[in-house]
Amino acid sequence: MLIGYKRGQGSIVLRVKILNSSVATGAGLTGLTSASSGLIISTIADNEATATAYTVAASNVETITTLGTYAAPSSGKCRFKEVDATNHKGVYEIQIADARFAVSSAKSLLVSVSGATNAAETDVVIPLRDLDPFDAVRAGLTALPNAAAEASGGLITRGTGTGQLTVSSGVVTANTTQLAGQTVTAAAGVTFPTSVSSLTAAGVRTELTTELGRIDVAVSSRLATSGYTTPPTAAANASAVRTELSTELGRIDVATSTRLATSGYTAPLDAAGTRSALGLATANLDTQLGDLPTATENAAAVWNALIASYTVTGSFGQRVLRSTNTQAEVAVTGSNHVAADLHESQPGSIHATTFDAGAIDAAALASDAATEIATATLTTAMTESYRAAGVAPTLAQAAFELIAQMGDASISGTTKTLKKIDGTTAKTFTLNSSTTPTSITEAT
């Protein structure tokens, strides 16, 4: 089935017929939906190497709300719905994104439907043309006027009416009504020859001589008699320029100080004034730098001023810096220790070696702490683990092996197998007899 469209046309509603592959009668397949398992709708232009496919498996096929009304699919999807299972069996409507019909330079688009149960593979080739079969005015050809014939902007036709030309023996018959944009009338006194043959060489020469005579008049006679001044000669111009330059240079060549404002101007400071403004006693910079205090003197002066401003009087007669909070004093013992409550400590400052041996015992633990420890030990699920053969167990390994010995185990021949919680093998043992065993040995 071929349905032609103009390349780039949008809102296309495409309808195709899908046959029932399970019968030999050529009947259409009914009952497919946008959710039919395995349904694939694929598109590829003639100049593309890779198809753009929409599949139910990838949730890329949507339903159609109103048949015959185009609704742009969601990004990366298409729309699909059965048209009429009674009157048009096997006919389905497909709506694809406009971009698939606007592939640059494409001449056709192939749409293929497949994958659904009992759906025969269906292919639809859609020609994409520059000619628009749905344009009733100019069929989408931009070289033609987009207006009705004889209308404004339309084609001119043969005839005697408005927008028409009268043609006789291949020659257009027309009266001249304008020349160079001006309307030609009898009152203008211009008479045009009735035909080209009436223009003779002598007539042309006579007209040219008359017009050239009117032009060939001294230009000066055409100048305005008033308000016009003859320009000076070149020599006069040069002299005038020199005079003007001399005058202007004389104006410029004056002491700059005379051009300064008489008020609001302050002369810059001389050397002595500059030193005075900076607070320098002499012009010798080394002397000035030598008078500055040393780093040690500065530090001592700053420290003395600091502790003099922030002091606390105590029984030890020591000066200490005040803190920035409301607790402005700290007490220092005779052993040089700060007497204070412990509010916080640096990470890692308290460790095993910090405590004396036996410092933490049952009496040191609160009753609720002991309860929490016991509860955590007895009610926390252990991680399942089993010891290797001949190795002493951990508490968890011993517990799980005892559970396996008393619970989930199997005997096959002379092998006893203990099972893990999930039923897989935990450990194996070897019996000395498959019928009447009297001893058992750990194997793994």
C-alpha separations of 250 from 55, 79, 211, 237, 245 in Å: 94, 92, 57, 20, 8
What are 260-276's pLDDT values in tens digits? Answer: 655 666 778 887 888 78
Between 30 and 134, the higher pLDDT residue: 30
The Cα 402–Cα 149 span in angstroms is: 104
Q: Which of 392, 396, 393 is nearest to 384 (CA)?
A: 396
Whole-prediction pTM: 0.37
pLDDT of residue 13: 96
Give the strand pairing for 178-179 and 182-183. Answer: antiparallel
Confidence label for 297 from pLDDT (cuts 50, 70 and 90): confident
Q: Which of 104, 6, 8 is nearest to 48 (CA)?
A: 104
The Cα 52–Cα 71 span in angstroms is: 19
Q: Which of 388, 405, 387 is nearest to 396 (CA)?
A: 387
Confidence label for 117 from pLDDT (cuts 50, 70 and 90): very high
pLDDT of residue 178: 64
Confidence label for 57 from pLDDT (cuts 50, 70 and 90): very high
Name the average pLDDT for the chain.
80
Tell me if 113 sits within 8 A of 16, measured CB to CB: yes
Can you tell me which residue has the tokens 């497909």? 94
pLDDT of residue 316: 47
Tell me if 154 sits within 8 A of 165, measured CB to CB: no
Q: What are phi and psi of 385, to 5 degrees?
A: -155, 150
pLDDT of residue 186: 56
pLDDT of residue 259: 62
pLDDT of residue 38: 97
What are 398-423's pLDDT values in tens digits? Answer: 988 898 888 888 999 999 999 998 88
Res. 239: pLDDT tops 80: yes
pLDDT of residue 55: 98
State what percent of residues in the chain have pLDDT above 70. 70
What are 299-349's pLDDT values in tens digits? Answer: 777 777 766 665 555 554 545 544 445 555 666 666 666 666 655 666 766
The Cα 420–Cα 409 span in angstroms is: 9
DSSP annotation of 263: S
Distance of CA 105 to the CA centre of its chain: 29
Domain locations in the chain as residue ranges: 5-129, 395-442
